[in-house]
């Protein structure tokens, strides 16, 4: 029988990005015995890559801003698929969370009168993003990390969770994982689990996500019996680096456009004026002088360079397809001809650094190539809006792994605020639940031992499949057939290929032993990635329309019927089950905010 390093907690938080750390800080401050599990070292989570800022209607730059405007922008950006209540809570609470980070030591850039400065971003009507240059995520993670350390959180660094367990009544009872450094098995007995595992970018070839984005939390929730929603909605960020190959997909912050940068095709044309959708026509400038005035004068219409990300990504895709792209298959982003070198270096220091060091390009002197990169999954674990609980008692989810908040498309800047608004609420929900239980749910030892044996399988046996090769095949497949533009026939082909990858995975073999062995770790992560890839593909087949981060070549327009439903998925006894469920309806006082239209998506 395998040996386990065993621990008991009230609340187990899986993931130590912004959402996980904020959840853990909250749960522990409520008196729950709390542990945080992180696949990397503490402070390295993908949150550090968030650049532009944290959206919160504080009204420091434009006093006209308030939560209603932010709520409306978020819903319209999400093509009205969002869970309205989450979008409302988010807009209402984001300012408090910004000030809380400041209280804990964050140093946001300032306005001339000493308050927190806010910057323009796509889809936000007013300059709304609190920021620290272009490294806001790093600031958030460091501050939350220091807060957690001083609060005495137990942190399990470089540990990966492989499965959750439930008791005989279907309640969360614990989790199994391993220490990456040694390969030792870890068994957690826990009353509640908060999933805060982030995204799924590593399923695609071109992505801004780090190795950690392997859809672990989505898979853990599916295996535990929770529902997913909107899994077909994938955000391809319009501006990833495209050259050199080594950095293909690496994020270029939307702040470049927020601070005055503009997109141009190979002919030097500012092509975004040709791609203004009807939904945003009333508020988007259709000529260059007006667009350029907008940065300093919010009474005129905004520049189309800052349309929501799904619109900009599709536009770039179309320009490249029409043969107006750059040598390496992107378009140009030009801030050099529009702002002074000093301004660019002070506003975008890490972008300057990143291009100088990795591409040998001086962004203060020349335009640079950009193209879409898989950046974010809007879909995720279905949660209730108040405390982020799922269909499984004791299971909570916050941040990118949860679904609903961003609907069909997430606005830039709404992620960092999402992390702390709902991280806090999930931590609260999990702690209340765990502290309210009179006894700890019991683990079934047979389940645990069975799973432990399966985890060792890639190291044993005589399989010949290389985990890295299977991973590459999966990424290529998803990039080509479940990418920015989709069609029924390719999605069906993808399902067949996913089934064959699943079969290959049964013969996977990782060389070496259990001590810090990335091949073995990848072999285990692959099961999660392949499961979630199938869910995304099936959901993409089900939604026969184009909306937000889901574009179908065979159904190029939004459909009013599909605009009224979520695509909900779960794992049943016979595999993935997909169904449609009506969207939750917002109360009349909120619906009024959309009286001038909003639910016609991008048609």
Partner 1 sequence: MPTANLKVWRGDDSGDYQNYQVEYGHGEVVLDVIHKLQATQAGDLAVRWNCKAGKCGSCSAEINGHPRLQCMTRMEIFEEGEEIVIAPLKTYKLIRDLVTDVSVNFEKAKTIPFVDLEKPAPGDVRRMAQMDIDRVQEFHKCIECFICMDVCHVIRDHPDNMDKFVGPRYFVQLAMVAMHPLDQHPKREMVAYGFGLEYCNITKCCTEVCPEGIHITDNAIIPLKERRVDELYDPLRMIGRALFGKK
Residues contributing to the site for partner 1 (CB under 8 A): 40-46, 48-49, 99, 102-105, 107, 109-110, 113-116, 132-133, 135, 138-139, 142, 146-147, 149-150, 155, 157, 181, 210-212, 243-247, 250-251, 350, 353-354, 357-360, 466-469, 472, 510-513, 515-520
Q: Cβ closer to partner 1: 276 or 344?
A: 344
Q: What are phi and psi of 198, to 5 degrees?
A: 80, -145
Q: Cβ closer to partner 1: 362 or 384?
A: 362
Instruction: Indicate which residue of 90, 237, 339, 451 is catalytic.
Output: 237
257 is catalytic: yes
Q: Cβ closer to partner 1: 393 or 519?
A: 519
DSSP state of 501: H
Say if CB 251 and CB 309 are below 8 A apart: no
Pairing of strands 262-264, 185-195: unpaired
Q: Cβ closer to partner 1: 115 or 189?
A: 115
Is the torsion defined by CA of 236, 240, 244, 247 positive or negative?
Answer: negative
Q: Cβ closer to partner 1: 305 or 465?
A: 465
Kindly state the smallest distance separating residue 56's Cβ from partner 1, in Å.
12
**Helix and strand tally (H, E) in the chain?**
17, 20
Is the torsion defined by CA of 380, 386, 388, 390 positive or negative?
Answer: negative
Integer-rounded Cα Rg, in Å, for the chain is: 23
Pairing of strands 234-241, 485-486: unpaired
Whole-angstrom Cα distance, residue 458 to residue 47?
30
Say if CB 371 and CB 232 are below 8 A apart: no
Kindly state the smallest distance separating residue 218's Cβ from partner 1, in Å.
19
Say if CB 98 and CB 59 are below 8 A apart: no
Kindly state the smallest distance separating residue 181's Cβ from partner 1, in Å.
5
Kindly state the smallest distance separating residue 563's Cβ from partner 1, in Å.
36
Inter-axis angle of helices 518-542 and 467-481, nearest 10: 20
Q: How many CB atoms lie within 10 A of CB 512?
A: 12
Distances (CA, A) of 75 to 85, 91, 414, 601: 10, 11, 11, 10
Angle 507-510-511 (CA atoms, 0-180°, nearest 5)?
A: 130
Q: Could you tell me how many residues make up the chain?
A: 603
Q: Cβ closer to partner 1: 173 or 250?
A: 250
Nearest C-alpha neighbor of 422 from the set 152, 83, 125:
83
Kindly state the smallest distance separating residue 365's Cβ from partner 1, in Å.
19
125 is catalytic: no
Q: Cβ closer to partner 1: 460 or 592?
A: 460
Instruction: Indicate which residue of 22, 46, 257, 410 is catalytic.
Output: 257
Q: Cβ closer to partner 1: 323 or 360?
A: 360
Say if CB 75 and CB 598 are below 8 A apart: yes
Kindly state the smallest distance separating residue 114's Cβ from partner 1, in Å.
3
CA 292, chain centre distance (Å): 31
Q: Helix, strand, or coil here: 415? A: helix
Kindly state the smallest distance separating residue 105's Cβ from partner 1, in Å.
4
In this structure, what token pair is assigned to residue 160?
A: 């990966």
In this structure, what token pair is assigned to residue 413?
A: 């800047």
Kindly state the smallest distance separating residue 127's Cβ from partner 1, in Å.
16
Which residues are identified as catalytic? 237, 257
């Amino acid at each position: 029988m395998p040996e386990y390093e065993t621990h008991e907690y009230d609340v187990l938080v899986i993931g130590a990005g912004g959402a996980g750390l904020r959840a853990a800080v909250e749960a522990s401050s409520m008196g729950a015995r709390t542990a945080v599990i992180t696949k990397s070292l503490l402070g390295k989570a993908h949150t550090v890559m968030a650049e532009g800022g944290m959206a919160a209607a504080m009204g420091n730059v434009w006093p006209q801003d308030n939560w209603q405007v932010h709520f409306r922008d978020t819903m319209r950006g999400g093509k009205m698929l969002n869970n309205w209540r989450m979008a409302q809570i988010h807009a209402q609470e984001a300012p408090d969370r910004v000030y809380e980070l400041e209280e804990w030591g964050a140093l946001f850039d300032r306005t001339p009168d000493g308050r927190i400065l806010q910057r323009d971003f796509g889809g936000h009507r007013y300059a709304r993003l609190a920021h620290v240059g272009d490294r806001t995520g790093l600031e958030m993670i460091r501050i939350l990390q220091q807060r957690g350390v001083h609060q005495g959180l137990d942190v399990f660094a470089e540990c990966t969770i492989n499965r959750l367990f439930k008791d005989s009544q279907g309640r969360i009872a614990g989790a199994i994982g391993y220490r990456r450094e040694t390969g030792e098995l870890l068994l957690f007995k826990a009353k509640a689990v908060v999933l805060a595992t982030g995204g799924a970018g590593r399923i695609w070839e071109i992505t801004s996500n780090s190795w950690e984005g392997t859809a672990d939390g989505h898979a853990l929730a599916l295996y535990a019996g929770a529902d997913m929603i909107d899994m077909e909605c994938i955000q391809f960020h319009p501006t990833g680096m495209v050259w050199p190959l080594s950095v293909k997909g690496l994020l270029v912050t939307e702040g470049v456009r927020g601070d005055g940068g503009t997109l141009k095709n190979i002919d030097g044309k500012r092509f975004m004026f040709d791609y203004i959708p009807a939904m945003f026509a009333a508020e988007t400038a259709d000529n260059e002088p007006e667009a350029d005035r907008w940065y300093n004068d919010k009474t005129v219409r905004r520049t189309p360079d800052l349309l929501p990300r799904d619109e900009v990504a599709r536009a770039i895709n179309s320009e490249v397809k029409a043969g107006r792209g750059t040598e390496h298959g992107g378009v140009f982003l030009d801030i050099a001809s529009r702002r002074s070198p000093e301004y660019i270096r002070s506003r975008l220091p890490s972008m300057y650094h990143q291009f100088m060091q990795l591409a040998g390009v001086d962004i203060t002197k020349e335009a640079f190539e950009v193209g879409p990169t898989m950046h974010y999954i809007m879909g995720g674990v279905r949660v209730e809006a108040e405390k982020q609980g799922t269909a499984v008692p004791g299971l909570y989810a916050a941040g990118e792994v949860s679904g609903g908040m961003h609907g069909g498309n997430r606005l830039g800047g709404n992620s960092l605020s999402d992390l702390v608004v709902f991280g806090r609420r999930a931590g609260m929900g999990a702690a209340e639940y765990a502290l309210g239980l009179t006894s700890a749910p019991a683990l079934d030892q047979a389940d645990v031992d069975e799973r432990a044996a399966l985890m060792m399988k890639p190291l044993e046996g005589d399989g010949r499949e290389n985990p890295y090769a299977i991973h590459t095949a999966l990424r290529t497949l998803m990039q080509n057939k479940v990418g920015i533009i989709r069609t029924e026939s390719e999605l069906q082909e993808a399902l067949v290929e996913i089934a064959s990858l699943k079969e290959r995975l049964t013969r996977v073999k990782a060389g070496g032993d259990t001590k810090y062995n990335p091949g073995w770790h990848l072999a285990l992560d692959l099961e999660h990635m392949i499961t979630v890839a199938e869910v995304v593909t099936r959901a993409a087949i089900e939604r026969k329309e184009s909306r937000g981060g889901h574009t179908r070549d065979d159904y190029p327009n939004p459909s009013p019927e599909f605009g009224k439903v979520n695509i909900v998925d779960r794992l049943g006894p016979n595999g993935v089950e997909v169904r449609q469920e009506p969207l939750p309806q917002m109360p009349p006082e909120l619906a009024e905010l959309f009286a001038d239209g909003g639910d016609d998506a991008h048609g």
